A and B are shown apart, each in its own frame.
Chain A
Amino acid sequence: MTMTAQPQSQVTAHEPKVTVHLKIKRYNPEVDTRPHWEEYEVQMSPGDRVLDALHQVKWTIDGTLSFRRSCAHGVCGSDAVVINGQNMLACVHLIRNVGTHLTIEPIRGLPVIKDLVVDMEPFFAQYRSILPYLIAYDDPGYKERLQSPEDRERFDDTTKCILCACCTTSCPVYWANDSYVGPAAIVSAHRFIFDSRDQAAAERLDILNQKSGVWRCRTAFNCTEACPRGISVTKSIEEVKRAILYDRV
């Protein structure tokens, strides 16, 4: 058997390093009265992640730099930051793709605690407000509930959400009005509203029909662009709006 194709030349351990300039918004509440910018230069491979560059700064230049991270491959949602003006997970973008001049700030709309670490509590409170769990009153007995592949597909997109807050903190409505539940909470509601096993769609639609709910959305599409999981966030918000308007799921 022969190989049908060869990998691209990118797959090599010997790419020459490049100088990466990072301009990072820093804030230490124990010392600073307001945030300020600091600049760093590190040597990275083009195939390194932006997260690797942040680690390089923290581990070799300034250990006081604080940022959250865990899985480092885009599934845990810890390291949402603003890179060159766009909300991204620092671990899913390579230097090769984002360039060597990086401006990195905390995500917007949530209070900054230190450096790139923001207060996530308001975000999770909004998530909890839409009843983010299956509500089913029938007793299924000791067996699985049935669900057709078509019914399962209906909410597949919104099950991908990792609650990283990239969408909510890219939303101009949310920046201006933090009582808006935000795209992430609506995505989580969508995941249950359109699950054929769930029986509390009406309750969730009532919650999202309030003035803090879906009608705040102005379809700016920032959320859809920001989502690192490729969820059609704006579309899911529109589907929830339609379900409220036409009383159907």
Chain B
Amino acid sequence: MRWEPPACGAAGASAGRLLKNFTIVRFHAKLYTVKVHYHSYDAVIVGAGGAGLRAAIEVAGKVRTAVITKLYPTRSHTGAAQGGMCAALANVEEDYWEWHAFDTVKGGDYLGDQPAIDIMCREAIDAVIDLEHFGMPFSRTPEGRIDQRRFGGHTRNHGEAPVRRACYAADRTGHMILQTLYQQCVAHEVNFFNEFQVFDVLFDESGGQKRAAGVVAYELATGDLHVFVSKGVLFATGGYGKIFRISSNAHTLTGDGLGVLYRRGIPMQDLEFYQFHPTGIYGFGILLSEAARGEGGILRNGLGERFMERVAPTVKDLAPRDMVSRAIHAEIREGRGAGTDKDFVYLDLTHLPPEQIDAKLPDITDFARTYLGIEPKTQPIPIQPTAHYAMGGIPTNVEGEVVLDGKGTVVPGLYAAGECACVSVHGANRLGTNSLLDIVVFGRRGGRAMADYVKSVDHPEVPRGAEAEVRDRIERFKAASGGEKVPAIRTELQQTMTENASVVRTAESLRAAHAKIDELVERYHSIAIDDKGEVFNYDLVEAVELSHLLDLAKGLVVGAEARQESRGAHWRDDFPTRDDVNWMKHSLAHRGDDGDVRLEYKPVIGGRYQPMERKY
């Protein structure tokens, strides 16, 4: 069943078509040198962060598998996660997975689908044990069990008091999970294609139904194209936090998986729900874990007041992130910020024992020293909310299958897991630690489901020259001579999103962002890149990534304009209450060929917890 490479005729045919569009003479020689390689697999996983690697462990060894990643796996942003991963192990105090599920439902402001949340919180316990067996070096209790600590929004008995539920490895839990999963992939001899970036997804519609058929990837080291024909494709490409200026996200978090599928007719769910983490290092946006507050850290405004006492009398500084970020925003807006511009507040650790800081929070205190020249043992750390996590994304069911609508119609063979996916377990606001949980639980489930599926189907049909559109696009970028530059457009996008579509939104601010994005999309058509070469052409890659950022920013803003209520991370100053009658529903954004967004909605799947007012 191996895919045969096409004869030169096929490549020549598509090249000929290109020449019609671009009659640039110096192009002739170049066109015929783009090499295309064909690969045939049962399963392809796109992305090698926590979700992709966890899926790979399930799939590799069972079916022929390729993992395609634009970075080296250990560079993935899972490694930047710090604080922990919640599971009701009850190692240090009484706890039940149902309490965890309640907190997750309430934390998500009743937009999460409760059957999926139940699965995540129940399987959390196994997921932690699995990681321990894989070699994860968790921090331990004196008895040698996995230690657990407090985290925002996680409570005992439905909101009574904070509970110690987060399993952790100092403040580098994500780093240790990423390393551990990669180590297991080395042990399982997983077949990695490192520094290959997926530019397109392929479908086979020959059987009357659309099903996944593979991806087209660009090899950074050579500029060659690779067509991976595959029965199953799982996207685990992470988030798109680079639509914002102040962001905890890596430069490479540009929503590639979402962007590629969105352009191919897959709707995006709940894009308007984007989380801002309360404690980003001032000016940089670098994450300082909620674990700092779990260990006893306190937020103070410019006057030295512990303002969270007013906002969340019971859990105080350990309220969920959306509430804390809004509280910080309010302090700054009302003139109680710190610094010359009164535009930040403090995270105060100075009252904690120095040895506790060294043992439990070594990395984040180092970040404060490195980037601000602050000694956190004696000085409070200036912080501001930072764009952190996309609750929305590629809609999936609990098996990781991509679903197209409210009826649960799936695209056979197409899967997604991790931040790029929306199951939805995080609803309108994710609780801290639940992202690391999400990637291991749904990475495993998606991988398993894909391994089962690909054993039951034939190889898909992919027409020769399936890479033609990607090749066109690359050549168009290289030939373009317009006056616009990728970095300028990206910077303006990030600026408008942080100013107008972040912690607090209004119809007016969103309209401004919408108009700006439309202008930038127009200008994007006239971009030119400097690098016309084949080898490590990041100039080209950034141009492609920018198209995803623009698409997703627009989807976010249009969804936020439509949603006339405040729920979780989506706060509208002009509609400051939650409206369960009209808005307890998920949005689905469809992208038109012209880039316009068409919204539809699907119901939230309820369960045993009825919506109630969200107080902490």
A contact set with B: CB distance below 8 Å = 1-8, 10-14, 28-31, 47, 58-60, 62-64, 66-78, 92, 94, 113-115, 117, 120, 124, 128, 132-134, 136, 140, 142-149, 151-152, 155-156, 159-163, 192, 195, 197-198
Q: Which of B9-17, B155-163, B372-380 contacts A (4 or more CB under 8 A)?
A: B372-380
Residues of B within 8 A of A134 (CB): 134-135, 183
Q: How far is the CA of A92 from the CA of B371 in the complex (A)?
A: 8
Residues of A within 8 A of B111 (CB): none
The chain B residue with its CB closest to the CB of A5 is B379
* B595 interface residue (CB < 8 Å to A): no
Residues of B within 8 A of A120 (CB): 72
Task: Report 28 cross-chain contacts, Cβ distance below 8 Å, ordered by A residue.
Answer: A1-B305, A3-B304, A5-B380, A11-B282, A11-B382, A12-B339, A13-B341, A28-B533, A29-B535, A58-B539, A62-B530, A71-B250, A72-B286, A73-B286, A74-B370, A75-B79, A76-B74, A77-B75, A115-B536, A128-B186, A132-B183, A133-B134, A133-B135, A133-B186, A146-B145, A149-B140, A159-B169, A195-B135
Contact present for A11 and B374 (CB under 8 Å):
yes
Contact present for A64 and B140 (CB under 8 Å):
no
The listed residue with most B CB atoms (<10 A of its CB), out of A134, A145, A161, is A134
- Proximity bits, B146-160, A CB within 8 Å = 1, else 0: 100000000000000
Of A69, A77, A151, A152, the contact of B74 (CB 8 Å cutoff): A77
Classify chain B: how many residues form its interface, as a range: 35 or more
CB of B255 to closest CB in A, whole Å:
15
* B510 interface residue (CB < 8 Å to A): no
Q: How far is the CA of A62 from the CA of B533 in the complex (A)?
A: 13
Contact present for B129 and A8 (CB under 8 Å):
no
B contact set with A: CB distance below 8 Å = 71-72, 74-77, 79-80, 126, 128-129, 132-135, 137-146, 169-170, 172, 175-176, 179, 183-184, 186-187, 221, 250-252, 282-284, 286, 300, 304-306, 339-341, 343-344, 346, 348, 350-351, 363, 367, 370-374, 378-382, 485-487, 529-531, 533-539
CB of B392 to closest CB in A, whole Å:
23
Residues of B within 8 A of A159 (CB): 137, 169, 172, 176, 179
CB of B170 to closest CB in A, whole Å:
8
Residues of A within 8 A of B141 (CB): 149
Provided the pairs A5-B380, A11-B372, A92-B370 are in contact, do residues A66 and B145 lie with their beta carbons within 8 angstroms? no
Residues of B within 8 A of A58 (CB): 487, 538-539
CB of B288 to closest CB in A, whole Å:
11
Residues of B within 8 A of A69 (CB): 251
Contact present for A72 and B536 (CB under 8 Å):
no
The listed residue with most B CB atoms (<10 A of its CB), out of A63, A94, A136, A163, is A63
* Interface class of chain A by DSSP: loop
CB of A59 to closest CB in B, whole Å:
4
The chain A residue with its CB closest to the CB of B137 is A159
Provided the pairs A4-B350, A7-B380, A128-B186 are in contact, do residues A70 and B140 lie with their beta carbons within 8 angstroms? no
Contact present for A148 and B144 (CB under 8 Å):
yes
Contact present for A66 and B537 (CB under 8 Å):
yes
Residues of B within 8 A of A94 (CB): 370-371
Residues of B within 8 A of A71 (CB): 75, 77, 79-80, 250-251
Contact present for A147 and B75 (CB under 8 Å):
no
Of B133, B378, B533, the contact of A5 (CB 8 Å cutoff): B378
4 interchain residue pairs of minimum CB distance: A134-B135, A63-B530, A146-B144, A59-B487
Provided the pairs A75-B175, A146-B143 are in contact, do residues A60 and B379 lie with their beta carbons within 8 angstroms? no
Q: How far is the CA of A217 from the CA of B183 in the complex (A)?
A: 25
Contact present for A4 and B79 (CB under 8 Å):
no
Contact present for B538 and A132 (CB under 8 Å):
no
Known pairs A12-B339, A149-B141, A163-B72. 6 more at Cβ < 8 A? A14-B340, A71-B77, A76-B71, A76-B79, A133-B186, A160-B175
CB of B126 to closest CB in A, whole Å:
8
Residues of A within 8 A of B286 (CB): 72-73
Of B71, B126, B170, B535, the contact of A70 (CB 8 Å cutoff): B71
Residues of A within 8 A of B128 (CB): 144
Q: How far is the CA of A192 from the CA of B135 in the complex (A)?
A: 9
Residues of B within 8 A of A140 (CB): 132-133
Contact present for A133 and B378 (CB under 8 Å):
no
Q: How far is the CA of A28 from the CA of B535 in the complex (A)?
A: 8
Residues of A within 8 A of B75 (CB): 68, 70-71, 76-78
Contact present for A66 and B536 (CB under 8 Å):
yes
The chain B residue with its CB closest to the CB of A128 is B186
Q: How far is the CA of A76 from the CA of B304 in the complex (A)?
A: 35
The listed residue with most B CB atoms (<10 A of its CB), out of A59, A66, A124, A144, is A144
CB of B584 to closest CB in A, whole Å:
36
CB of A249 to closest CB in B, whole Å:
16
Residues of B within 8 A of A192 (CB): 135
Residues of A within 8 A of B183 (CB): 132-134
Of A63, A113, A195, the contact of B531 (CB 8 Å cutoff): A63
Residues of B within 8 A of A70 (CB): 71, 75, 77, 250-252
The listed residue with most B CB atoms (<10 A of its CB), out of A73, A114, A140, A163, is A73
CB of B10 to closest CB in A, whole Å:
26
Residues of B within 8 A of A163 (CB): 72, 74
Q: How far is the CA of A58 from the CA of B343 in the complex (A)?
A: 30
Q: How far is the CA of A95 from the CA of B340 in the complex (A)?
A: 22
Residues of B within 8 A of A117 (CB): 536
Residues of B within 8 A of A72 (CB): 250-251, 286
Provided the pairs A8-B379, A64-B530 are in contact, do residues A152 and B79 lie with their beta carbons within 8 angstroms? no
Of B142, B172, B221, the contact of A149 (CB 8 Å cutoff): B142
CB of A178 to closest CB in B, whole Å:
19
Provided the pairs A4-B378, A147-B140, A148-B144 are in contact, do residues A142 and B129 lie with their beta carbons within 8 angstroms? yes
Q: How far is the CA of A159 from the CA of B170 in the complex (A)?
A: 11
Q: How far is the CA of A113 from the CA of B175 in the complex (A)?
A: 28
Residues of A within 8 A of B300 (CB): 1, 3
Residues of B within 8 A of A60 (CB): 487
The chain B residue with its CB closest to the CB of A76 is B75
